[in-house]
Structure 1
Amino acid sequence: MEVVNQRSALLSNFEVLTLLRELESDHLARTRTALRIKKEEESVGSPTKNHAPIEEVLENLRTIEVEAIQYLAADYQPTASQTEAGIQQLTRGLSPYNLNKAEKLQIVNLAPTEAVELYVIVEELEDRFGARIDDILSTVRESLTQPAPAASRPSPVVSMTDRTRKTEEKGYAANDIAWDYEENELVFDDTGEGAGIEGDLDVEDD
């Protein structure tokens, strides 16, 4: 097998998102134009002309493109805080640190702002950079238009014991509820005529 077009560069998530959005916009524009022309021809009653065929896009490919855009544009992704100029600034700022291409790409994609995030990206981080770790993180922060979105924290779980304690403190414990007798309450008398008698359901012998 022969490689015709050798890959000469790596694309960041921001660049992929920009490209997908351009393709999406172009596809929607061509589709709207084709539908508008067809509708105009049908309204005047003229026969439909053979226009240049619209490039057919496979449904599975469109699904992948849409889902990729949704994932890369999510609020928790650093792409929301990145710009083309910021990425260029970041790559230039990382040049003195002797990082390989894969490490630079991951730093651009993940935009780590904490040391713990950088540890999972760069191999032997502390041995290679030592006190310069904070400088790398500062370079990343300066390239972002706003702080990178933090993961949403789950709401604290309140145990049943805490809820019961709070309820008792407010004086609304279930045991404190008193049931008052109502004067007009109906009382069913099960004595006298029609009262049930033991054995009244027995079958009498003829």
Structure 2
Amino acid sequence: MKISNNPPQHLSNYEVLQHFLDLKEDNDYLQKAVADNAARQVVRAHAQYPGAKNKFGDPVEVPHVDDLGEEDLAHEDDAARRGVSKELVWVQDEVIKYLCADYNVTARQTADGVAKLADQLQEYGFTKAELLQACNLAPQSQVGLYLIVEEAETRLPQPFNETMNQIVDEVIAPTLLAEPPEELWPYLSSTVHTEIAQNIIDDTAEYDEEAYDNEEEYVHEAEWGPGREGGVDDEEDTAME
């Protein structure tokens, strides 16, 4: 076993999206292979026992499966033994849904565009963290870029306002597509910003309510005084007397 001392490599959102799209393609194949393998087992059982019936006494319905060669059947058997993780499929779908949402620019990015953006931003002295954030967010306004670049007033060439507008209009904007490519259309989702804010408010209110309930319970258990049950030490002192 080899131990790598290299620092971790950070991935852009575009690279993460491409990875999960490849993962989805693999999982889709596995799901189909598992279903086809199960159907093929039913066909084989029906061929061996043509008069078989289910627990209700009805004839077993024979599913249709495509004929495959020996090599394809071997791949299907391997996929059936490998199986599919439902948890992984859920995570995969949620990540793709998030990265393809309309409030992200990831679906409108390309590999060449992200690489070109990272190269050009280095000329302005961006740090690695700022480069990654700029590639992920691709801000479309000076305000959005200002939130990424630390101490922009002193680090960017003066006048920094014009420099930031130049970065937004001439560096970032040309790397984005006008609309997502057709192959990503099935994964696009739209979320209203007010809905996101309301979800955050509801989650915060629920958390505060739980914290308040726990605090009341703690205070109730911590109450001591006259007329209340004494502690273990009090009982021991009374017994000794």
Q: TM-score, normalised by structure 2?
A: 0.54
Q: C-alpha separation between the residues in 1 aligned to 2:5 and 2:90?
A: 27
Q: C-alpha separation between the residues in 1 aligned to 2:5 and 2:86?
A: 27
SS at match of 1:98: coil
1:113 to 1:63, Cα distance in 2 relative to 1, 3 A: same
SS at match of 1:107: helix
Q: 1:42 maps to which residue? A: 42
Q: 2:166 aligns with which of 135, 158, 175?
A: 135
Q: C-alpha separation between the residues in 1 aligned to 2:125 and 2:136?
A: 18
SS at match of 1:9: coil
Q: C-alpha separation between the residues in 2 aligned to 1:101 and 1:136?
A: 17
Q: 2:99 maps to which residue? A: 72
Post-superposition offset of 1:30: 1.8
Q: Is the 8 A contact 2:31 2:84 kept in 1?
A: no
Q: Structure 2, unaligned stretches of length 5 or more? A: 49-73, 181-190, 195-241
Q: C-alpha separation between the residues in 2 aligned to 1:153 and 1:51?
A: 46
The number of residues matched between the two structures is 150
Q: 2:150 aligns with which of 117, 123, 126?
A: 123
1:4 to 1:147, Cα distance in 2 relative to 1, 3 A: same
User: Residues 142-161 of structure 1: matches in 2 within 5 Å?
Assistant: 142-146=174-178
Q: C-alpha separation between the residues in 2 aligned to 1:141 and 1:37?
A: 48
Q: Does 2:10 align with 1:10?
A: yes
Q: Is the 8 A contact 1:14 1:79 kept in 2?
A: yes
Post-superposition offset of 1:64: 2.1
Q: Structure 1, unaligned stretches of length 5 or more? A: 155-206
Q: 1:91 aligns with which of 111, 118, 121?
A: 118
| Same amino acid, percent of matched pairs | 31
Give the structure with higher Rg (CA): 1
Q: 1:25 maps to which residue? A: 25
Q: 1:82 maps to which residue? A: 109
Q: Is the 8 A contact 1:126 1:133 kept in 2?
A: no
Post-superposition offset of 1:33: 1.8
- 1:40-61 Cα offsets, whole Å, 9 max, x none, are 34214368x9933543554433
Amino acid at match of 1:24: K
1:153 to 1:62, Cα distance in 2 relative to 1, 3 A: closer
Q: C-alpha separation between the residues in 1 aligned to 2:179 and 2:130?
A: 21
Amino acid at match of 1:17: L
1:153 to 1:66, Cα distance in 2 relative to 1, 3 A: closer
Post-superposition offset of 1:147: 7.5
